[in-house]
Amino acid sequence: MNNASNSLAAVRFEHVSRHFGEVRAVDNISLEIYDGEFFSMLGPSGSGKTTCLRLIAGFEQPSSGKIYLHGAEVSGQPPYERDVNTVFQDYALFPHMTVEQNVGYGLMIKKVPTAERKKRVSDALELVRLPQMAKRRPSQLSGGQRQRIALARALVNRPRVLLLDEPLGALDLKLRQEMQVELKDIQKRVGITFVFVTHDQEEALTMSDRIAVFNAGHVEQIGTPAEIYEHPASAFVAGFVGTSNLVRSDVAQKLTGRAQMFSIRPEKIRMVEIGTPVQDGWTALEGTVREVIYLGMFTRYLVALEGGGELTVVRQNLDETSMDVLSAEGKRVQLTWQRVFDRVLETK
């Protein structure tokens, strides 16, 4: 890569590793985060996401490799000299200060004149839709409100990159879903690069322009939510993002005649009567419904295949009652899906 492409990226990792003794927390990662995008780092606990965020912020230094922020290499640069801000999961608000003092704290330290400080604090509170809370203390706010204040406190500094470490982790599901939409909306309005760490695949799919899927210190795949979901690059990604049926190559050989491991999403499989004619380009297999899991909006069926192995099928409960779906247990069925939805996988 030349310097011109460096300058396009808000963040660039070149073969970055961070080892703690024997632990390879981050292991030879190269990636680019574009200016103005909502980029998520998604992966299970311990996969190296937070360490990557801390490397960008400057709280950690790489064991090897180089990090660039907007084209400039930042080795050895302390956090306060980097044009980035972090929003932590626990919000880290000062309890003895009011909301507006909390939000304006960074500007006061930087000796921004009072009039400008007041204007910027009020703009930031407006942005997170909490202008009426200026005089309250953090203890007088709900979890979701505290989260927004933490966001306002970071945005008031107008960083070029905002780092968010599981910021919605402490909220209940409904509030978290609301905040996901709101965060994405705020990001679009301010145009700042957001780097968002989460282990929640739905959260990453909802908000991100692109997602990096982490596994054991390395990145398995980077892509848009649709690319990651529809074309998982590995068995790990197929299993971690959404639910997937992974069919091992030996089982695939018996079932479909092709000795290649593949994944097929449960919602792509249709469950029909045995003997239903099969169209060109479709796979058809017979099996027995081993278990029915009724989930209100939809039902999950576990089907044991005659040729070995098991597939999960998901069907929306459009016309069936709960009685109908539950009576499917033990029934012999035919499963069909379009072969274009098979994803041949490499194991890494």
Q: Does 23 bind ligand ATP (CB under 6 A)?
A: yes
User: Which tokens is 344 given?
Assistant: 């041949």
Nearer CB in complex with ligand ATP: 51/193:
51
Span near ligand ATP by CB under 6 A; candidates 38-46, 238-246, 296-304, 333-341? 38-46
Span near ligand ATP by CB under 6 A; candidates 43-51, 256-264, 308-316, 324-332? 43-51
From 50, 102, 180, 245, residue interacting with ligand ATP (rule: CB under 6 A): 50
Query: What is d(CA 25, CA 43) in angstroms, rounded to the nearest whole number?
Result: 13
From 45, 132, 139, 279, residue interacting with ligand ATP (rule: CB under 6 A): 45
Q: Does 46 bind ligand ATP (CB under 6 A)?
A: yes
Helix axes 143-155, 173-190, angle to 10 degrees: 20
Q: Which of residues 136-155 bind ligand ATP (CB under 6 A)?
A: none
Q: With 0-12 CB in 10 A as exposed, 13-18 as middle and 19+ as buried, what is 116? A: exposed
CB of 102 to ligand ATP, least distance (A): 25
Nearer CB in complex with ligand ATP: 199/265:
199
Size of the site for ligand ATP (CB under 6 A): 12
Span near ligand ATP by CB under 6 A; candidates 45-53, 97-105, 149-157, 174-182? 45-53
The answer to whether 195 and 33 are in contact (CB under 8 A) is yes
Q: Which of residues 163-192 bind ligand ATP (CB under 6 A)?
A: none
Q: Which of residues 187-216 bind ligand ATP (CB under 6 A)?
A: 199
User: Which tokens is 220 given?
Assistant: 């398995």
CB of 204 to ligand ATP, least distance (A): 13
Nearer CB in complex with ligand ATP: 197/205:
197
Nearer CB in complex with ligand ATP: 3/45:
45
Instruction: Tell how far CA 191 is from the center of its chain.
Output: 19
At a CB cut-off of 8 Å and minimum separation 6, what does 68 contact? 6, 9, 11, 12, 14, 74
CB of 13 to ligand ATP, least distance (A): 14
Span near ligand ATP by CB under 6 A; candidates 47-55, 95-103, 231-239, 329-337? 47-55
Nearer CB in complex with ligand ATP: 49/176:
49
Q: Does 51 bind ligand ATP (CB under 6 A)?
A: yes
- Interface residues toward ligand ATP, by CB under 6 A: 20, 23, 25, 43, 45-51, 199
